[in-house]
Each structure stands twice: as structure tokens, then as C-alpha cells.
Structure 1
Amino acid sequence: MTFFRNNYTAKLIVAALAVFSSSCSDDYLEEMTYGEISPAEMTSPGNVDRAIIAAYSTLNGQYDASSSAFNSPASNWSFGDVVSDDAYKGGGGTGDQNNIHLLEIFNVNPTIIDVERKWVALFEGVKRTNEAMRLLQSSEEYNPTLKESRMGELYFLRGHYYFELKKIYNTIPYIDETAATVNDYAVSHTQFTSEQLWDKIEENFTKAYERLPESQEQVGRPNKMTAKAYLAKTYIFQKQWRDALEAANEVINSNKYSLLPHFRDVFLPENDNSSEIIFAVQHSVLDGAPDNYNGSIGDRLSAPGGPFYSQYGFHRPSQNLINAYKTNANGMPVLDNVNLAGTDFVDPRLDHTVGRPGIPYLDLGVLYEANWARDLSTYGPFAPKKRIVSANSPYQTDTWPYISALNYYIIRYADLLLWKAEALVELDDLEGARAVVNQVRGRARDSRYVMNLAGTAPAANYKIETYSATWADKVSAREAVRTERRLELAMEGHRFFDLVRWGVAAETINNYLAVEKTRRTHLTNANFTEGTHEYLPVPQKYFDVLESMK
């Protein structure tokens, strides 16, 4: 069997899960046991390393022997895209994964499987991280210098799991490594205020920054600048603009990261630990793991159909997103939400991001056709493309579950640059923000465009330019930065969380729905209620377990 991925984590995950097999439970409050290994043996360096790798292994949303990571995807395609103006659920109609359809129309309740499984997956990560910390701290044989670095990694992982929980659920319990029994995990989700939770998340990334080395020999492990970048993200979510700017500048000035010359190259699996990637979930396929569970298992429903892929047909780009890529004769965004016509100018990132009829699909030598789309009448003709790996690639499997080794990028350099631009706008440095946004737009302009099948001309009327004129005021500058985030990061699971933290989710989503309902009848009953739908509810199962333990 061939092993496709330059990924150290995958080689150890199987062994780690063998040690912690009984820890993968349907509820994070369920007690962990250690199988056949005695407690005294657990603090040996080898077993501590396995515990650390087990903490990493849940990053991709796969935490049990099920193939249901699409209900808890690391990419947040359902939690960040489908509930936004960027994508529809897709699939075989509203009854296919109806649970995700309920999220899409904001008919959310705490018993929906996605609400439960995402919570459990993230708290499984917290639990494994806490256990690994306890073992590492107790190990007398572990190399002292390496121990400090590994503790930094664990603080980083715990910070990540709690950051995801905070941005998705808002009110959450917080449990650290002092938890020794199942009862220690049975704590209230209202024990801490929102500000206190953010302080704890910041503390994790600060401790990670203090302990992590400047670089790591093995890809996938965070370094000092990875932690600083996540601190920048944490500050951005709290609108701590000065702190965010300082953190972003430290990462930028480290010269560890840079934009790749070509936009499409960022999403080739052979490049997915490139200079643009600050932190990623490491994926691998054909590595011996059961059913390729170390691959992009959470995204397996995104396969677009057609002659090369399974026709799961989920995660379908919205008409609103397609229209957002329209540009004028000067290469500037139009944002009129009028359906894109064949003669319109478009941002070239459009055809790297989505599959459109009449445009070549990846390197497969064929034009994408509307009939590739499953349930065309319900969800329209468009397909995901940015994070789909070519069927010609050895990093894409051609058997069930039809997944790839493409990493999921939690933070990439373009993301960080746009946080910096956002902070600069809020700090009234509009010219500084414009220069940063122009770095991102300049890369899009200078990238290779999608070409026609003959390779003789661009496949569409691509037109994009940097902002040449000074932004008139803070409002227009803010709109430009937010627009750039959407165009650059579309279909990467960020959009909804951006709308929420900007405080415009209700306005944006309801304006979107007012028009999109005239295009897609599956959205007829959708309605976003301000103050209710910004976050998922805490799962009912959590309350049931707490009640049973009284």
C-alpha cells in the first residue's frame, strides 16, 4: 500500500488510538480508561508521545469508529458556509442530511446531530489534551527541554479546541488539566462570562507562545509564530484592534510566511505545508488507517459528481456568492447581486473557487457541466472547486469514502494579512489597510488564470485590479476589507463567523434570504433571528448527562 502525505501525525495516530481506543465516546463526560496499559506505564516517554498525538488526532473532526465526521467537520463547511450567504447544503434535496438543512434555514434545536457531534468532537479534543498534559507533567523520564515544547503544543491545541467551541456555541464549560475524574468534567456552561472565556483562550495561546520553539522539525506541529497568529485571531474576535495589529505584525516581521505566487497553488495537496500555511489540520490517505479516517473525512460529502467523482453534491456555492465575484471595467467589485452574465467581468478567483458550467474543471481536461450537480432544480448548477483535489492526483482516493489528503487550513497567511487590514481600518490607518488589501488582490491579479481547454485564452472575462484611489472614509474602507475577506476565503468555512463578529449577521443573512428565496425554493422557510441564531445551542445531551449525575 502506498502512503500519500508528508505528514508525521498520520503515522502515529493509529498507534495512539490503539492506546486511547476506549476514550472515543459519544459524550465527552464519559470516563476515559487506558485499555491494556497500566497507569504506571502511561508516563513512559513513548506513551506520553502517543497521548499527545491522540490530542492532535481529533483536529479533523473524526473521533470514533463512525464515518460521520461530516457532522463535525474541521472545515466548518456546514457551520460557517451553509448557514451564511456563501453556500447551500446541497445533496439529494432537503431530506438528505435534513439536520444540515435545519441549520441552513435556522430551524435549530439542541438535539440536531451536528450540534451534538461538533460539541463532542471538540470536547474530545479538550479531554485528550488535558489527559496528555497530566501524563506529560507526571513523566519523570521525558526529556526536560522537549517537555517544555510539547507543553506548548498542548496549550496551543487546547486553545484551538476552546476557540472553536466559543465561536460556535458562545457559552461553554471550561475544564483544564486538573480534571481527574468524570465528575470534574460535569461543570456548568455558564460558570464563566464571555470575557472570562476569552481570557482563558488567550492564556492558552500565550502559554503556547512562551514555550514553543521558533521552528519545528516535523510539519503539523505549531511553532512560536503559529501561536502568535492564533493570538491575533483571538484579539480580532474581541475587537482588540491594537493587540491584534501588534500580534499580526510580529508574525509578518518574522518572515516565516508569505503568499504563494499563484492562488490555485495554495490548494494543491503537494503544497499544503507551504509558506502560506500558518496552521493546518494534517490529512493523509492510504496510510493504513481504517477507511482513510486520517484524510479529509469531514468533507467527504463535497464530491461534485460528474464523470470523475461520486455525486454526493453537498456544499454548493450560492448564486449570491457567484454574483459577488463580478467586477467592473476597472477590475473593482460590483456587489449588485444581479445574476452574473457570460459577458461580465469577473474576479479570477471565482473559477478557482467554484465549478461553473462551461469552465474547465481543475486539470481534468473537461468543461464542468450543470448536469454534474445533484438535484440541479433545488440547488442550482454550481459546485465546490477550491478544496476539491483533482481525480488525477495520487492524493485523491477513487474508492469510498472518496476523500483526499488536502489539509484543512485553519490559518493561512492571506487570512492574517486581512486581519491586519481590518485592525488598521478600525485604528484609522486607511492607507495602511489599503496597502495590505492590495497585497492580496495583487496576488489574485498576477496569478495564473483558468484557461480554456485549448490553453490559448482565459476561460472567462477576468478583470481584477488593486485599489488605486484613496478610500474615502472608514465605512468604505471597512466594506472593502470585508469584501476582500469574502472573495479570498470563500468556501473555507469562515464567512458566517465573520458576519457574527462584525455584528451584521442578521442584516446580511436576512437581506440575502429575501433575494435568494426567489431563486431557491428550499430556503422558503428560512429566517434569521437576531440575538438567537448567531450561535448554536448547547446540546441537549449535555444537560441530560449533567442531570443524570446529580
Structure 2
Amino acid sequence: MKILTHKFRTFCCTAAIVAIAASCSSDYLEEVPYGEVAPSEMNTPTNVERAIIAAYSVLNGQFDGASSAFNSPASNWSFGDVVSDDAYKGGGGTGDQSQIHQMEIFGTLPTTTDVQRKWLALYEGIKRVNYALNLLEGSKTFDGSLRTQREGELRFLRGHYYFELKKIYNRIPYIDETAKAIDDFYVSNTVLSDEELWGKIEADFEAAYDVLPADQTASGRPAKLAAKAYLAKTYVFQQKWAEALAASNEVINSGKYSLLPNFRDVFLPDFDNSSEIIFAVQHSVNDGEPSNFNGSIGDRLSAPGGPFYNQYGFHRPSQNLIDSYQTLSDGTPNFNPSANPSTLMDPRVDHTVGRPGIPYLDLKINYESTWARDLATYGPYAPKKRMVSALSSLQIKTWPYISALNYYVIRYADLLLWKAEAQVELGDLEGARATVNIVRERAATSATVLALGSDAPASDYAIASYSSAWTDVAAARTAVRLERRVELAMEGHRFFDLVRWGVAAEVMNSYFNNEKKFRSHLTNASFKVGVNEYFPIPQAYIDLVGNELVKQNSGY
């Protein structure tokens, strides 16, 4: 399952091919220096394969020898959850990783560490892809039957890296493998229109789809329908609903992917590359890498404390998120929990969040608020969905306290809910209801968390499919969006969903207005329309390339 992970991560740290570590200077404009391999040997099949592996190796956000991939996490816990209504920064108060606190209250600056490191990680990936494409093209001895497939993998990876850049920074410079001279790398971030930039990203996924095999023998390499699923995602972000529906249906109708019967199983390392996972960042531990940097290094601050885990205590679920899991007596969502509170809960809540008095994973102990670091500031809850049991050999019990759990870039439930969105926007409300019900039925039939030493549920759970016809577009849209929230919570998607739906300012400012009554760390939080939908272009890049070429995003 994890065979290629070690190779993906550690190759770039060897002298076998090239030194391509990134920094905050001009490294993403420089040519890749050769290490101990002579230039004449760079195009050998072995070295080309190594360059391709190096392009994979930065998917987890780790691109240098430091342990600070938590500033550029593949999971986007800080870029997608902490800046949304789903989670607080956590940690030891606002001064602990204070730059993430500034992100949380939308005081982000172009010099913010995480803004710069995320940019560096993604462009490092692009640089490696472009370099590998050139090596592949120049190799006269590379296996002809494999050449096209490897090119498809590289195009897929480049599409992914640029997609991440687009959704985070919006206006970005586009550089492909045709850039050779130093001047080719001095590129404006406004030369391409929004439509043209999306077109470039689509083109990479289309090219990948055309040549990738239906199945890959090595976990972690994208297959044909993974490219089609990513195309669906690009269409959703552009509100190309007909295209999104067609792409989603092709993947669904193939029968290649399916929901696992049990919701909790999705987040066990044992099921990392299951039928539900369309594309994932591969993680591994105990694989010979001295610091276990091949594991979930970007999420290492999420350790929740208590008797089993280190107490970094970041990525803390909000009360607002907990409330979103409330249900009514018929098992349907409670869409207005503040005005009409309910004690019934969607059972996914206790697979997603550590709540006091509820068993934590398989540790045979209840999670308690005393586990929480800085309880007074960030409240009693902890991340749970993407935490691996401390009893598992796939959870490292010493620094850096990380696991082998993959990060799922796209899973099947995600795709189903894109389809449901498209169906709503195209007027097929009953089709959308049926699609959402597929996701809810899995949640309803999954094993629930049981009270310690009992066969009884740990809380009052109620969940059911929607039985009544959907006839109102606005209500159907609200139902699909809530389903995305409760199904995908704490997976790094929420903020980007709010932005693409055009409701980020409304949702976040309403959230802040209420939260300020209870959470003093959000006193100065405010979302500015037309500014905070995207993060600033790193100042280091502007200083390097020049502000005559690079235009800062509005408001920064």
C-alpha cells in the first residue's frame, strides 16, 4: 500500500540526481543545479524516473530539510479550516504560531510565513514537474510504452499544483516546461485572464486523462478517472455545471469507485487506498527516513494531548461546527440550531471531533476537555477524523508525533456532492436529493461510536435520508452545502467552498459576530469583501520579480 511513498519522499534528499531544495530567495527562478550526476547522464531512464518521483515528493508540503511543513500543509488545515467557521487555530494561545492567528482573524500579510511557504512548496512541485518533462522529452532510451504514461502523470501533478495555487492566491504566474532562459521565468501574474488560467489547468488534466491507464500498479500514481474527477473539480470551481455533471457521471458510472460501508473506516490507514479514494497524498512512517518526514508532517501540530498524545493542540473544532451536526427527530438536519437547538446529533460528529465524555478512537478512554490545550481560549474539542489511534504502529509516539494516514485530495463522497451541486444548479432537484441520500445512507448504516463498556450509542444519534421531494432550489442548495460541511469537515475544504459559493463574507462575519461573545481571540476578526477571498501574493516573490510584473491581490 505504501511501497512508493518512501521513494517519493526521500529521493529528493539524495545526491543521486539533482539538488532542488527551495528557499525564500530566487530558487524558483534558477535552473536546477546538477548534483553528482554528470549532465550527460541526466536523461538515462533511471534518472528520469527519479526526477518524476521528485515531482511527487513535494505533494505533502515538505520540500526542504526542515520540519515546518505545517506551514505548507497538503491538508490545508490552516488555509481551509482555521480560516473558516469549522475550526480555531488552537495551540498555546494567540502567540503560538501567531501568524496563523493572524490568518484566522483575516489579518494576513504578504510577509506571513505560511503564505510564503505554501507558495514555495507548490511552485517547487511545478518546477520539478517541468524539469522532469524536459528530461523525459530528451531521453532517447526511455521505454516508449511508458513515456506517454509518465508524461500524463506529470501533467496531472502540474494541474494539481496549479489548482492549489489558483484557489489560494487566485492571480498567479504560469510557467511550463517551455521556460528555458532565465528571462522566461520572470512572468506576470496578470498576463493570463481568469478564464485562460483555468484553461491551462484544465488542459493538464485533459492531457492526463487522454493517456493515463485505467489502473496503476503503484499506489499514489493517478489513474485515468482520477484526472476526470479533478476535471470535475475544476468545472465546479468555475460553475461550469453541465461539464461538472458530465465529468462526475463518467467517474460514477465507471463503477471503479464506491463509498466504504463504514464511515470511520475511511480514515484508518488500513483503508488508505480503498475504493473511496480517488487521489491521495501518500504518507508512510517507520520506512527508514530518520525523522519520519514521509508521514503526515504537515499535520503534526494536530496532536490533541491527553494521556496518549503530545499536546500541540492545534486545529481545534469550533462550536459552530459541532452545532451543524444537530438533527431533528426525523433524522434530517437541523438547519437552525441556534434558534431551535436539538440534542440529537448526526453520528458523523463523533467520528470527526473529539467531544468530552465520548470515547476517543479505540483507546478505551473518553475524550475529556482536560486534554485541550488552552481550554479557556479555544474550547473543549479536538480533531479526531484524521487522527490515528495511539495503539497503532502507524502512529509515531515520539517527535514529530505523526502518522501514516494519507491525505485524501479527492474522495468519492466529495465527487458525489459535486454532482449534487451541479444537479441543483441545473434544476434537477430530485436527482440532487437522490445523490445526497447516497452519502447520508452510508452515514446512517455506519457503525456508531459506543459508550465505554456498553453496546449503547455514546450519544443521542439520529440520521436519515431525505424522504420528501425537493421542490425549492434555495432549500436544495442549502441542503447540499450542509451535507458537504458535515461529510467533509476538518479535511481542508470548507473555506474554499464558502468562497466559490460567493457566501464567505456573509457566513464568516455572521460567525465572528456570534463567536466574539465567547471567544476573545476573535475580537478583532473581520472578513472584507473583495479582499479576503484569496491570500496575498508573497512579498518575497514581488520583491524578486518586481512590482512592474507582479500585481498584489486587492487590499493587501
| Shorter-normalised TM range | over 0.9
Contact 1:320 1:337 (C-alpha < 8 Å) held by counterparts: no
Taking a change above 3 Å as real, the CA distance of residues 200 and 381 of structure 1, as seen in their structure-2 partners, is same
1:6 aligns with 2:8: no
Contact 1:162 1:201 (C-alpha < 8 Å) held by counterparts: yes
Deviation at 1:190, TM superposition (A): 1.1
1:77-133 CA-to-partner distances (Å, cap 9, x unmatched) read: 000000000000000000000000000000011000000000000000000000000
Taking the aligned partners of 2:340 and 2:41, their CA distance within structure 1 comes to: 63
Taking the aligned partners of 1:294 and 1:13, their CA distance within structure 2 comes to: 6
Deviation at 1:213, TM superposition (A): 0.7
Specify the alignment match of 1:112 in structure 2: 112
Contact 2:345 2:461 (C-alpha < 8 Å) held by counterparts: yes
Structure 2 counterpart of 1:468, one-letter code:
S
Structure 2 counterpart of 1:149, one-letter code:
Q
Deviation at 1:456, TM superposition (A): 1.6
Deviation at 1:365, TM superposition (A): 0.4
State the SS of the aligned residue for 2:546: helix
Deviates more, 1:128-137 or 1:284-293: 284-293
State the SS of the aligned residue for 1:259: coil
State the SS of the aligned residue for 2:42: helix
Contact 2:327 2:346 (C-alpha < 8 Å) held by counterparts: yes
Specify the alignment match of 2:525 in structure 1: 526
Taking the aligned partners of 1:105 and 1:9, their CA distance within structure 2 comes to: 36
Q: Where does 1:268-287 land on structure 2 (aligned, <5 Å)?
A: 268-287=268-287
Taking the aligned partners of 2:11 and 2:411, their CA distance within structure 1 comes to: 30
Deviation at 1:40, TM superposition (A): 1.2
Specify the alignment match of 1:332 in structure 2: 332
Specify the alignment match of 2:553 in structure 1: none
Structure 1 counterpart of 2:311, one-letter code:
Q
- Ranges in structure 1 where 5+ consecutive residues have no aligned partner: none
1:361-385 CA-to-partner distances (Å, cap 9, x unmatched) read: 0000000000000000000000000
Structure 2 counterpart of 1:402, one-letter code:
Y
Contact 1:348 1:449 (C-alpha < 8 Å) held by counterparts: yes
Specify the alignment match of 1:404 in structure 2: 403
Specify the alignment match of 1:227 in structure 2: 227
Deviation at 1:189, TM superposition (A): 1.1
Contact 1:259 1:275 (C-alpha < 8 Å) held by counterparts: yes
Taking a change above 3 Å as real, the CA distance of residues 122 and 20 of structure 1, as seen in their structure-2 partners, is farther
Contact 2:206 2:227 (C-alpha < 8 Å) held by counterparts: yes
1:317 aligns with 2:317: yes
Taking the aligned partners of 1:453 and 1:117, their CA distance within structure 2 comes to: 43
State the SS of the aligned residue for 1:292: coil
Q: Where does 1:186-335 land on structure 2 (aligned, <5 Å)?
A: 186-335=186-335
Specify the alignment match of 1:52 in structure 2: 52
State the SS of the aligned residue for 2:244: helix
Taking the aligned partners of 1:414 and 1:391, their CA distance within structure 2 comes to: 27
Specify the alignment match of 2:23 in structure 1: 26
Taking the aligned partners of 1:197 and 1:547, their CA distance within structure 2 comes to: 21
Structure 2 counterpart of 1:26, one-letter code:
S
Contact 2:60 2:298 (C-alpha < 8 Å) held by counterparts: yes
Deviation at 1:273, TM superposition (A): 0.2
1:62 aligns with 2:58: no
Deviation at 1:32, TM superposition (A): 1.7
How many residue pairs align between the two structures?
Answer: 545
State the SS of the aligned residue for 2:410: strand
- Ranges in structure 2 where 5+ consecutive residues have no aligned partner: 550-556
Deviation at 1:29, TM superposition (A): 2.3
Deviation at 1:181, TM superposition (A): 4.0
Taking a change above 3 Å as real, the CA distance of residues 295 and 20 of structure 1, as seen in their structure-2 partners, is farther
Structure 2 counterpart of 1:61, one-letter code:
G
Q: TM-score, normalised by structure 1?
A: 0.97
Taking the aligned partners of 1:542 and 1:262, their CA distance within structure 2 comes to: 45
Taking a change above 3 Å as real, the CA distance of residues 262 and 33 of structure 1, as seen in their structure-2 partners, is same
Structure 1 counterpart of 2:289, one-letter code:
A
Taking the aligned partners of 2:452 and 2:182, their CA distance within structure 1 comes to: 59
Deviation at 1:43, TM superposition (A): 0.5
Contact 2:296 2:406 (C-alpha < 8 Å) held by counterparts: yes
Identity of aligned residues (%): 64
Specify the alignment match of 2:474 in structure 1: 475
Contact 2:5 2:294 (C-alpha < 8 Å) held by counterparts: no
Deviation at 1:457, TM superposition (A): 0.3
Structure 1 counterpart of 2:221, one-letter code:
R
Contact 1:378 1:520 (C-alpha < 8 Å) held by counterparts: yes
Contact 2:2 2:283 (C-alpha < 8 Å) held by counterparts: no
Deviates more, 1:409-418 or 1:325-334: 325-334
1:421-479 CA-to-partner distances (Å, cap 9, x unmatched) read: 00000000000000000000000000000001113200000000000001131000000
Taking a change above 3 Å as real, the CA distance of residues 486 and 20 of structure 1, as seen in their structure-2 partners, is farther
Specify the alignment match of 1:487 in structure 2: 486
Contact 2:10 2:57 (C-alpha < 8 Å) held by counterparts: no
Root-mean-square deviation over aligned CA pairs: 1.5
Specify the alignment match of 1:77 in structure 2: 77
Specify the alignment match of 1:360 in structure 2: 359
Specify the alignment match of 1:130 in structure 2: 130
Contact 1:77 1:493 (C-alpha < 8 Å) held by counterparts: yes
1:470-521 CA-to-partner distances (Å, cap 9, x unmatched) read: 1131000000000000000000000000000000000010111111111211
1:175 aligns with 2:178: no
Specify the alignment match of 2:150 in structure 1: 150
1:99 aligns with 2:117: no
Specify the alignment match of 1:390 in structure 2: 389
1:170-201 CA-to-partner distances (Å, cap 9, x unmatched) read: 00000000122443222111111111100000
Deviation at 1:549, TM superposition (A): 12
